[in-house]
Structure 1
Amino acid sequence: MFRMTVQYETPADPEAFDRAYFERHVPLCRTLPGLVGASFSKPRPLGPGPAPYLVAELDFADGEAFRAAMTSPEMATVGQDAETLPAARVMFTGEVSGG
């Protein structure tokens, strides 16, 4: 499995962010070709330091499926919409192992 993780910083208006994210952005993400699973969480820190406001994990069968999704018209739409979300984000990808 191959995963794209997106971490969002706390937005100035969390309610507006949640509305835009869950009502508009998530449905767009669910159209990505090759997507086999998606999860969304709002982590809370266990110790000192801040946690991201929201973490999204998008799973694909493998790196090839992920690369195909990244060049799809659906991903172009998702990317354009992501630019309108009112929160800074960090994205990273990698193979998922069961260690």
Structure 2
Amino acid sequence: MITMKIDNSYKPTTTGLSSKPSAPQTAIATPAQDAVSLSQVAGSLNAGANQPPVNTARIQEIKQAISEGRFKINPEAIADRLIESTRDLLGRDGKHQV
């Protein structure tokens, strides 16, 4: 969970309409005091950002097997894993059961 505090320091100015021109006003800059804090999960996600998310050696093996015609596709295993993955995703949020 990421929490963020937003500071409402903006105060709009209103100027009345008058027939007399007024002197130009100067804006005074005030430093904003915004704060952001990250949860423990966000920190752990950031820590894993330095590692590659995939096995590049395995990808090269598969590419070579495809180019040589040795790669076999198992549609039943793919379907089973897709169904299992869907069940896991739907079961996690507690809203649906397959």
TM-score range, shorter chain: under 0.3
TM-score scaled by structure 2?
0.18
Q: Which has the higher helix share?
A: 2
TM-score scaled by structure 1?
0.18
